[in-house]
Amino acid sequence: MPLYEYRCAQCGEKTEVLVRSGDRADAPRCPACGAPMERQWAPVAAHTKGAGGGSCAPRGGFT
Smallest separation (angstroms) from Zn ion to the CB of 34: 7
From candidates 4, 6, 8, 40, binder to Zn ion by CB under 5 A: 8
Smallest separation (angstroms) from Zn ion to the CB of 8: 3
If DSSP codes are grouped into helix, strand and coil, which group holds residue 24? coil
Q: For residue 31, give the nearest of 53, 8, 50, 49 by alpha carbon.
A: 8
Long-range contacts of 22-30 (CB under 8 A, 24+ apart): none
Q: Of 13-21, 38-46, 54-62, which segment contacts Zn ion by CB under 5 A?
A: 13-21
From candidates 4, 6, 30, 40, binder to Zn ion by CB under 5 A: 30
